[in-house]
Chain A
Amino acid sequence: MNNSPRNKTKHQSAQERINNFEEVNLGFDDALMAEEASRCINCKNAPCRTGCPVGINIPAFIKCLTQNDKDGALEVISQSSLLPAICGRVCPQENQCEGKCIRKAKLGGSVAIGALERYVGDYGLKKGTGALKAPEWNGKKVAVVGSGPAGLACAADCALNGFKVTIFEAFHKAGGVLVYGIPEFRLPKEEVVEKEIDKLKALGVEIRLNTVIGKAITFEELQEEYDAIFIGTGAGLPMFMNIKGENLNGVSSANELLTRVNLMQAYKDDAITPVYCGKSVAVIGAGNVAMDAARTAKRIGGGEVYIIYRRGREEMPARAEEIEHAVEEGIKLVLLTNPVEILGNEGKVCGIKCVKMQLGEPDASGRRRPEPIEGSEFVIDVDQVVVALGTSPNPMIRKSCANMEFSKKGTIIVDEETMATSVEGIYSGGDAVTGAATVILAMGAGRKAAKAIIEKFSKE
């Protein structure tokens, strides 16, 4: 058995990358890929597969790689995922496939499954869309609302099975969170996202941009024209803390900062859309969106960036790699700290008042509950505050789809097996159902719904 430790992908140095928006993780080259692939011991139980929300046959694609059969590897992955170049980059592998890898504890660390998947995905993108073509139409039409990961996955599977698919997107670019949320330095737009979407177009999927369903086209109109509808509209309204000073100039949601910078490309010198760049920035929250916001703020502002989080480092929900990258880039983690007030001067942010926290008994989530330490208030001087505390469901779908059932929180209620909503013929998945979660979970939900749609019409 190959006892070597896990191979690391190449990276842009922290010094260099904080001055640009180019991709940080450069992936494996051929030699490192071969070395890493040979570390997989092809164990019988393949626990990694149980950690994958879409059940990719991981040992099988890695085996192909050990034989330098890239086409074979691509084919294995394609059976379960159409977007490996994206998932290889953004999945929280340490909690999924790699978290279950048998080599994790003692044998030099988990196999770098994510980086290998990305290698295969990028190989697939280089091959282009030449081999893809729309299968014969089965006479049925599917409308997909939202072009984020859930919608793209659902559209891909339906298209592969002969459905005519139309994706409706409110923005002027397709991709949802992949284009407005996740930054260029983590997920390149032209090189990766657009090319993955081109694959769907090659399968005959039509994408109608600038179209808000429920407003420009009603759900009733969609139901008349389409045999099935999938709603993948994502999470929705950014949450704030309801503390004093939150509406001062210089305070924004992470969504606003990221949308201005990613979708509207405000990081470019010739951009028309402006973005405020503070000299000293506090980002509140510790999930992936908080890391993206902090690293974006570092790149556009160049000053101090603090991540303020009420629990400890162990509890930070972001991907391990994102936290490491943020720290390498000089971003300061201010842990066990909770903001209590944003301070302002003439309507503009000038500081953030925080209180120190300590961890008490475990709460309902099993994590130890943070409690404020009395009298421990202190102020950090900042001129920008970015709130990254998640989202609450967008009221637009609720208002425009009156007979659909929603949870108390406002998320869409679905049958967990089929992703069917309470309205016949309408399915949903992704953050619109779960609240803010991950790209791969949304893709998994999109595929589940597609499976139910395909089965329903194959019976007819």
Chain B
Amino acid sequence: MNKLLKIYEVAPKVKKYVVHTPTVSKHCLPGQFVIVIVEEGGERVPFTICDYDRQAETITLLVQEVGYSTHKMAALKEGDSLYALVGPLGNATDLDQYENLVLVGGGIGCAVIYPQAKLRKQKGLKSNVIMGARTKDLLFDIDEFKANCENVFISTDDGSMGTKGFVTTVLQERIDAGDKIDCVLVVGPMIMMKNVSELTRKYNIPTVVSMNTIMVDGTGMCGGCRLTVGGETKYACVDGPEFDGHAVNFDEAMTRSKFYREHEQKCNLRG
């Protein structure tokens, strides 16, 4: 169980893992996540599901090496198994009512919007995608997006590919060009989701964000993932992870997500 069937490096320090997990792959949907314990005694880390194959009984996770557990995960080889994997957790994306959906991905967040693009294509629904990264080496799966989306727009901070600037630069361009946009789904760093939400607010475009908060259990028990949405406390694990980007208190969420950073660095040294 939880065997890593394939591992691909898609960008520096970013790997894609195809994991054999019959129970999770059977019912999971785009937008949901799993909790992984890499090895016995390790911490519980949430990862959003980036792809799934019900026949092959696999899900795909995209992991960037940033802390202790992801460092441990990067050391695993094909054929190794994860100590524990639980899911699918959280609620699935539910945006089928929107005809003109723009998917916005920042960095590894691009991987999270991919299954949504794929499922919409299967359902005969269109989507446009905006992919952003610091530089072109950090972009991946562009062909897969092209195969599933009407248009693929790209931005890089340094201009090494696509428009020089941020995803918001491209999104502003599309709005200015008169593209019909019914809804935006944006996944990426919190600051990017905040900036996209602020832009779309001006145009009253409904915007959904996926909140990657600190979590322990992922099933609604600890409350570590709580955030303020529209003035109310919500739990990312059971109420989300997707929320109305115009209602999320991003500043609070960003402060909360930094809470254990000191510990993370300590673990890095030890690991």
Which A residues lie at the B interface, using CB under 8 A? Answer: 170-172, 180, 209-212, 215-218, 234, 236-238, 240, 242, 246-247, 249-250, 252-253, 255-256, 259-260, 264-265, 271-274, 276, 347, 394-396
In the complex, chain A residues whose CB is within 8 Å of the CB of B258 = 249
- Is the pair A247, B233 in contact by a Cβ cutoff of 8 Å? yes
- Is the pair B221, A394 in contact by a Cβ cutoff of 8 Å? yes
> Per-residue CB proximity of B254-268 to A under 8 Å, as 1/0?
011011100110110
Q: Which chain A residue lies CB-closest to B225?
A: A256
Whole-angstrom distance from the CB of B30 to the nearest CB of chain A?
15
- Is the pair A212, B219 in contact by a Cβ cutoff of 8 Å? yes
- Is the pair B259, A212 in contact by a Cβ cutoff of 8 Å? no
In the complex, chain B residues whose CB is within 8 Å of the CB of A255 = 221-223
**In the complex, A172→B259 CA distance in Å?**
25
- Is the pair A237, B44 in contact by a Cβ cutoff of 8 Å? no
Whole-angstrom distance from the CB of B105 to the nearest CB of chain A?
25
**In the complex, A244→B217 CA distance in Å?**
25
- Is the pair B27, A242 in contact by a Cβ cutoff of 8 Å? no
Q: CB within 8 A of A264: which of B24, B83, B216, B235? A: B216
**In the complex, A272→B221 CA distance in Å?**
20
The answer, yes or no, to whether B86 is at the interface (CB within 8 Å) is: yes
- Is the pair B221, A273 in contact by a Cβ cutoff of 8 Å? no
Q: CB within 8 A of B221: which of A209, A238, A252, A274? A: A238
- Is the pair A210, B88 in contact by a Cβ cutoff of 8 Å? no
Q: Which chain A residue lies CB-closest to B227?
A: A247
Q: Which chain B residue lies CB-closest to A260?
A: B216
Q: CB within 8 A of A172: which of B84, B219, B233, B263? A: B84
- List 26 contacting pairs A-B, 8 Å CB cutoff, sorted by A: A180-B217, A212-B219, A215-B89, A216-B27, A217-B23, A237-B220, A237-B235, A247-B228, A247-B252, A249-B255, A249-B256, A249-B259, A255-B223, A256-B222, A256-B224, A260-B222, A271-B41, A272-B42, A272-B68, A272-B69, A273-B43, A273-B216, A274-B43, A394-B238, A395-B238, A396-B238
**In the complex, A388→B220 CA distance in Å?**
15
Q: Which chain B residue lies CB-closest to A387?
A: B223
Find residues 1-55 in chain B having any chain A CB closer than 8 Å to their own CB: 23-24, 26-27, 37, 41-44
The answer, yes or no, to whether B126 is at the interface (CB within 8 Å) is: no
In the complex, chain A residues whose CB is within 8 Å of the CB of B221 = 180, 234, 236-238, 255, 259, 394
Known: A218-B27, A274-B260. A242 touches B233 (CB 8 A): yes
Q: Which chain A residue lies CB-closest to B257?
A: A249
Whole-angstrom distance from the CB of A372 to the nearest CB of chain B?
23
- Is the pair B41, A272 in contact by a Cβ cutoff of 8 Å? yes
The answer, yes or no, to whether B87 is at the interface (CB within 8 Å) is: yes
Q: CB within 8 A of B44: which of A234, A240, A246, A273? A: A273
In the complex, chain B residues whose CB is within 8 Å of the CB of A237 = 220-221, 223, 235, 238
Q: CB within 8 A of B23: which of A216, A240, A274, A395? A: A216
The answer, yes or no, to whether B133 is at the interface (CB within 8 Å) is: no
**In the complex, A215→B263 CA distance in Å?**
32
In the complex, chain A residues whose CB is within 8 Å of the CB of B27 = 215-216, 218
**In the complex, A273→B228 CA distance in Å?**
25
Known: A170-B86, A172-B37. A272 touches B228 (CB 8 A): no
In the complex, chain B residues whose CB is within 8 Å of the CB of A212 = 86-87, 89, 219
The 9 closest A-B pairs by CB, nearest first: A274-B263, A256-B222, A347-B255, A216-B23, A253-B223, A210-B86, A273-B43, A238-B223, A172-B84
In the complex, chain B residues whose CB is within 8 Å of the CB of A218 = 27
Using a Cβ–Cβ cut-off of 8 Å, how many residues does chain B contribute to the interface with A?
A: 43
- Tell me the interface secondary structure of chain A in the complex: loop
**In the complex, A250→B259 CA distance in Å?**
8
The answer, yes or no, to whether B226 is at the interface (CB within 8 Å) is: yes
- Is the pair A210, B227 in contact by a Cβ cutoff of 8 Å? no
Q: Which chain A residue lies CB-closest to B26?
A: A216
Which B residues lie at the A interface, using CB under 8 A? Answer: 23-24, 26-27, 37, 41-44, 68-69, 83-89, 216-217, 219-224, 226-228, 233, 235, 238-239, 252, 255-256, 258-260, 263-264, 266-267
**In the complex, A395→B238 CA distance in Å?**
7
**In the complex, A256→B84 CA distance in Å?**
20
In the complex, chain B residues whose CB is within 8 Å of the CB of A180 = 217, 221
**In the complex, A394→B217 CA distance in Å?**
13
Seed contacts A247-B226, A272-B267, A396-B219; 8 additional CB < 8 Å A-B pairs: A170-B86, A216-B87, A240-B233, A246-B233, A249-B259, A252-B223, A272-B41, A274-B263
Q: Which chain A residue lies CB-closest to B216?
A: A259
Known: A215-B27, A246-B233, A276-B259. A209 touches B84 (CB 8 A): yes
In the complex, chain A residues whose CB is within 8 Å of the CB of B44 = 172, 264, 273
**In the complex, A147→B88 CA distance in Å?**
19
- Is the pair A216, B24 in contact by a Cβ cutoff of 8 Å? yes
Whole-angstrom distance from the CB of A178 to the nearest CB of chain B?
14
Whole-angstrom distance from the CB of A172 to the nearest CB of chain B?
4
Whole-angstrom distance from the CB of A279 to the nearest CB of chain B?
15
Q: Which chain A residue lies CB-closest to B42?
A: A272
**In the complex, A171→B217 CA distance in Å?**
7
In the complex, chain B residues whose CB is within 8 Å of the CB of A211 = 23, 86
**In the complex, A212→B237 CA distance in Å?**
13
In the complex, chain A residues whose CB is within 8 Å of the CB of B252 = 247
Q: Which chain B residue lies CB-closest to A237?
A: B220
In the complex, chain B residues whose CB is within 8 Å of the CB of A395 = 220, 238-239
Known: A210-B86, A237-B238. A394 touches B219 (CB 8 A): yes
Whole-angstrom distance from the CB of A48 to the nearest CB of chain B?
35
Q: Which chain A residue lies CB-closest to B85?
A: A210
- Is the pair A256, B220 in contact by a Cβ cutoff of 8 Å? no
Whole-angstrom distance from the CB of A320 to the nearest CB of chain B?
27
Q: Which chain B residue lies CB-closest to A210?
A: B86
**In the complex, A212→B84 CA distance in Å?**
13
Whole-angstrom distance from the CB of B242 to the nearest CB of chain A?
15
**In the complex, A442→B264 CA distance in Å?**
38
**In the complex, A170→B44 CA distance in Å?**
12
In the complex, chain B residues whose CB is within 8 Å of the CB of A272 = 41-43, 68-69, 267
